[in-house]
Structure 1
Amino acid sequence: MDAASSLPIGKRLTFRILLTTLIGLALTLMAIGYTLLLSWQLEGGAAAINEAGSLRVRSYRLAMVLEHVSSTTAQDELDQFNSTLSDLQLGDPKRPLFLPATAGIRAQMQLVQQDWKTRMQVFAIQAQNELDVTSRQQALKNYSDALPSFVESINKLVSLVEVELSEKTTWLRLCQTILIFMSLAASIALLYLLYLWIVGPVTRMQAGIARMRKDDLSVRLPIETEDEFGVLAQAFNQMADRVQTVHRTLEVRVLQKTAKLQEQNQEISTLYEVAAFLAGPHAIEELCRGFLHRIMQRIKAEGGTVRILDNHSDNLHITVHEGISEKMVEEEHCIKTADCLCGAAVSQGIILVRDFRQMDTQKRYRCAEEGFFSIAVFQILAREQVIGSFSLHFTHERVISSEERRLLETLGKNLGVAIENQRLIAKEKEFAVSQERNLLAQGLHDSIAQGLNFLNLQVQMLEDSLSRNNLQEVSDIAPLLRAGVEESYEDVRELLLNFRTRLQDSNLESEMRNVLSKFQRQTGVHAVIEFIGSGAPLAPEQQLQVLFILQEALSNVRKHAQASEVKVRVENERDFKLIITDDGQGFTMESAEQKGDAHVGLHIMRERAVRLSAQFEILSIPGQGSTISLHLLRQERLVA
């Protein structure tokens, strides 16, 4: 409910206007009603004067009728006279007709009526009914003698009525004059009240608004009434106070908002800077050191540490530190998760200490002994798992705001993700090295190991021939030893060449041409390569596996196929295909499987195809050569 509707009804402007209107209307209606009453009374009195005047005429006419006309006509005149006299006495509101109700007029009317009944009517009836002429003449004479006094009595009645009507006429004119003056006074009063109650307050309100529009915020309206305009003036003053207060504090609030915006910009800048650093290819120790250095600069800390959790032993190890003495590092380089504040933060969450003097004095805090006044410890999280903590040390009382706390929590998660990524990269590298070592071992077993085993048998046979002094066998074994050594030497050179192969500028076509050219120079086998299609290049890791498969296939051709020509076809459309065909002696898959380790190269190519998630097929017919095909589907291709 607003203030205007809560005002008492007696103080409301609408009530006062309604009351004034009702009072003016009541007075006007009373004045008009009184003038109507006076007009009605004047009309009835005028009719009474006319009727009284007609009595005089009828009294003279009755005398003439009694003297010359028949008794029937005389009786009619008597009846009309009595009727007129009765109307005067009783009145007739329909006409209207009535005598004024004053005592003098009523008394005079009684005299006229009594004189008529006791004298005049008696004389007239005697003159009408007497048969004797003398008696009739005497009755007429008595009527005629009494007539002047009777008429005079009627005239007196008429005079009294005229005087009364003259007074009422004067009152009527006076009332009309008063009504005119009342109308003028009511109009003036109404105009004054309208100005006092409405026009004046509205004018002052407009003036106040105009001054406020001109930035005069000191303007205030006087509260002169307790009505709606008083409430409105009070609300205007309150609004002016609020606007003036807001205007005074606007600059301060702008500065506060600007400072807050600058803080938020600094937080975003810090978050971006640290995130960009953590996204780089850095070792874990370098990540932690760069992270701690940037955080200390942003929070203005005098010291700090980053500790990594060892899940197997539940120990926290200091990875990097800054602003911390070597003595403290020596004592706390390895702590349990329940030890001290840095250890407790791993299990309990964020720990903030504003003043070490307020902590438990029975416990020993190395940070306080170092001269630090306050500390903040946050968790390092990766995949919602705690992998460590980082601490910030201050030599003064430091309150970490909610914005800074949120920023440090976010950065702790970013550091955890970066550390976890580096661990995954290290594991991936370790796995890749392990796989390459496995392939290297298989290659050595397929080539060098087999050759050394052959040389070992030949050396044993040579020793046996020498012990028996059988020079013929020695001369037969010596060429075999030379051929075995040369073959082993070629195998070693080929393995070294294959495992040193690297893609230059991710150009698979040029590298494949180089590999084929070296194969042709070393073996003398004619080799051709054909490239079809203009698809996107393969990702570097896929290109390298394709190159290794080509090298392994050419190695198998050199060792086993005894071919005179090799054809290589590369189709690079949405799918990628590699087809290697030779015209060698061929083989059957059953014989290859029976030889087992003698054909490790086939297994190596299959493993590399599995790495690519590609389809690998070998088609070989004895005496008709072999065909090796690699098919990499479009959905398995990686973006280069």
Structure 2
Amino acid sequence: MADMRRLPVVEVLAEIASSMSSDANVDQMLARFLEIMMRLSKAKAGVVRVLTSDGGHLRMVGAVGLSPALMEKERYVPLECGICGRATLEHSPQVDNVMTVCSKQVRHLYFAQRCKTVYAIPLRHKGKVLGVYNLFMDGDDTLPDDVSYLFNSISEHLGMALENARLTRENMRISLMNERTMLANQIHDSLAQTLAYAKMRLTVLNEAIAEGDQEDANRYLGDVEEAVDMAYSELRNLITQFRDRIDPRGLVPALQEMVESFRKKANADVDFLNIAQDVVLTPDEEIQVFHIIQEALYNISKHARARHVIVTLDLEGGQYVVNVADDGVGLMTGAAANVGKSFGLTIMRERTAKLNGKLSIESRPAGGTIIRLTFPAKLPEQEAKS
């Protein structure tokens, strides 16, 4: 890297912006810019710290020029400790050339013999301090004005990176909890109901055997065998659904692949027709639509005995319209339907609700079933605001 003292402010900030867009690990990025700040200030050592989740301590995420023993003592410091605490609480850079607090806190000769001046530059974003850079100097020289100005800009940019990383982790936790809830609901509406049905039939089977009623016993045994087969099929479907991942290129390529896969598994003629000229959905909306169509196709393969299936995606009057139509036997009736009629349907409706849409399932006059999903499309100005 070139002499950082000669680089214009814009180039240093451009370096930060580039790192923010490419670095997955914010701690590593903060540690790398610690070296840049040390070069700019001619510091002999430095530490970068971030606020812990409880807000009571500063945790070291990177250090340069400190011994392993001193690094261990500096691993965590109380938020109110000395110059770091002042920088955090007052939201402004601090400088100290009296090492009393640091020496007392870590009980190390470094602050009594080698370090003469400490700088603390807070990492700020929208009125919050998220961390601190410490620069340890062996003299009492003050930072030049241009370097102080640059440090202020760096701290705001890196503070933004810290906040973005926090929001990303928070969103990942929310997504994980949502997926677990969705999985629990799917198990409840499919596998759990099937097993509950099997358990009830086992009870009457035992009663029939105890009473010597062979005819009823054979019928109930057949019901149990059918329920076990259905439970096994549902389990395989759940495993398949949670292994499947939407194509990173977007919904339309993902649906094309899904239809191709379904065509091979179901031994049916399946077509996908994208009538909408432009499909603009958020990643979450794409996932909901993908899984609704996936569940619809699975139900067709399990129940409909269809020879031809067509999936269409259209945009009409500010509404996306998805149709999944088949020429099979139509909506199920009879005992098997009483067990399986709600499989996946509750989950499809929950996903539809996330889209603020509507879901309908109807018999076609010519035979078969049509599943229709409609949900509002975001206008360009709505997309910009979200």
Deviations 1:93-137 (A, max 9, x none): xxxxxxxxxxxxxxxxxxxxxxxxxxxxxxxxxxxxxxxxxxxxx
Letter in 2 for 1:549: I
Q: Secondary structure at the match of 1:282?
A: coil
Q: 1:627 to 1:309 in 2, by over 3 A?
A: closer
Letter in 2 for 1:291: F
**Aligned equivalent of 2:83:** 341
Deviation at 1:535, TM superposition (A): 2.5
Alignment TM-score, normalising by the size of structure 2:
0.79
Deviation at 1:417, TM superposition (A): 0.9
**Aligned equivalent of 2:372:** 628
Q: 1:470 to 1:281 in 2, by over 3 A?
A: farther
2:249 to 495, 506, 512: 506
Letter in 2 for 1:324: L
- Mapping 1:566-605, distance limit 5 Å: 566-571=309-314, 576-582=320-326, 585-586=330-331, 599=342, 601-605=344-348
**Aligned equivalent of 1:110:** none
Deviation at 1:398, TM superposition (A): 3.0
Letter in 1 for 2:88: V
1:297 to 26, 32, 39: 39
Give the strand-richer structure, 1 or 2. 2
Write the distance in 1 (CA, Å) between the matches of 2:113 and 2:330: 81
Deviation at 1:533, TM superposition (A): 4.4
**Aligned equivalent of 1:320:** 62
State yes or no: 1:375 paired with 2:118. yes
Q: Does the 8 A contact of 1:270 with 1:298 survive in 2?
A: no
Q: Does the 8 A contact of 1:446 with 1:598 survive in 2?
A: no
Write the distance in 2 (CA, Å) between the matches of 1:363 and 1:324: 14
Q: Does the 8 A contact of 2:268 with 2:307 survive in 1?
A: yes
**Aligned equivalent of 1:133:** none
**Aligned equivalent of 2:296:** 553
Write the distance in 1 (CA, Å) between the matches of 2:346 and 2:221: 34
State yes or no: 1:495 paired with 2:238. yes
Write the distance in 1 (CA, Å) between the matches of 2:263 and 2:225: 23
**Aligned equivalent of 2:335:** none
Q: Does the 8 A contact of 1:274 with 1:294 survive in 2?
A: no
Write the distance in 1 (CA, Å) between the matches of 2:194 and 2:182: 18
Write the distance in 2 (CA, Å) between the matches of 1:499 and 1:524: 23
Q: 1:545 to 1:361 in 2, by over 3 A?
A: closer
Write the distance in 2 (CA, Å) between the matches of 1:622 and 1:363: 82
Write the distance in 2 (CA, Å) between the matches of 1:365 and 1:516: 65
Q: 1:438 to 1:368 in 2, by over 3 A?
A: same
2:131 to 379, 388, 391: 388
Identical residues among aligned pairs (%) = 22
Write the distance in 1 (CA, Å) between the matches of 2:14 and 2:266: 57
2:287 to 530, 533, 544: 544
State yes or no: 1:270 paired with 2:18. no
Letter in 2 for 1:453: A
Deviation at 1:490, TM superposition (A): 1.5
Letter in 1 for 2:82: C
Write the distance in 2 (CA, Å) between the matches of 1:436 and 1:407: 43
Q: Does the 8 A contact of 1:465 with 1:471 survive in 2?
A: yes
- Mapping 1:183-332, distance limit 5 Å: 265-310=7-52, 312=54, 314-332=56-74
- Mapping 1:25-36, distance limit 5 Å: none
Q: Secondary structure at the match of 1:599?
A: coil
Deviation at 1:401, TM superposition (A): 1.1
Q: Secondary structure at the match of 2:22?
A: coil
Structure having the higher Rg: 1
- Mapping 1:38-49, distance limit 5 Å: none
Deviations 1:283-327 (A, max 9, x none): 342232223233223333221112222474532222322222333
Q: Secondary structure at the match of 2:7?
A: helix
Q: 1:443 to 1:311 in 2, by over 3 A?
A: closer
Letter in 2 for 1:406: Y
Write the distance in 1 (CA, Å) between the matches of 2:17 and 2:137: 24
Q: Number of matched residues?
A: 368
Q: Secondary structure at the match of 1:503?
A: coil
Q: Does the 8 A contact of 2:201 with 2:223 survive in 1?
A: yes
**Aligned equivalent of 1:455:** 198
Letter in 2 for 1:448: L
More deviation in 335-344 or 528-537?
A: 528-537
Write the distance in 2 (CA, Å) between the matches of 1:610 and 1:473: 43
Write the distance in 2 (CA, Å) between the matches of 1:564 and 1:363: 81
**Aligned equivalent of 1:409:** 152
Letter in 2 for 1:293: E
Question: Which ranges of structure 2 fall in alignment gaps of 5 or more residues?
Answer: 333-337
Letter in 1 for 2:348: M
**Aligned equivalent of 1:80:** none
Deviation at 1:501, TM superposition (A): 2.0
Deviation at 1:424, TM superposition (A): 0.3
Alignment TM-score, normalising by the size of structure 1:
0.50
Q: 1:531 to 1:335 in 2, by over 3 A?
A: closer
Q: Does the 8 A contact of 2:352 with 2:373 survive in 1?
A: no
Letter in 1 for 2:240: L
- Mapping 1:67-106, distance limit 5 Å: none
Letter in 2 for 1:328: L
Q: Does the 8 A contact of 1:512 with 1:547 survive in 2?
A: yes
Deviation at 1:575, TM superposition (A): 5.8
Deviation at 1:364, TM superposition (A): 4.1
Q: 1:522 to 1:362 in 2, by over 3 A?
A: closer
Question: Which ranges of structure 1 fall in alignment gaps of 5 or more residues?
Answer: 1-261, 588-594
Q: Does the 8 A contact of 1:538 with 1:638 survive in 2?
A: no
Q: Which has the higher contact order (CA 8 A, sep 6+)?
A: 2
Q: Does the 8 A contact of 2:190 with 2:343 survive in 1?
A: no
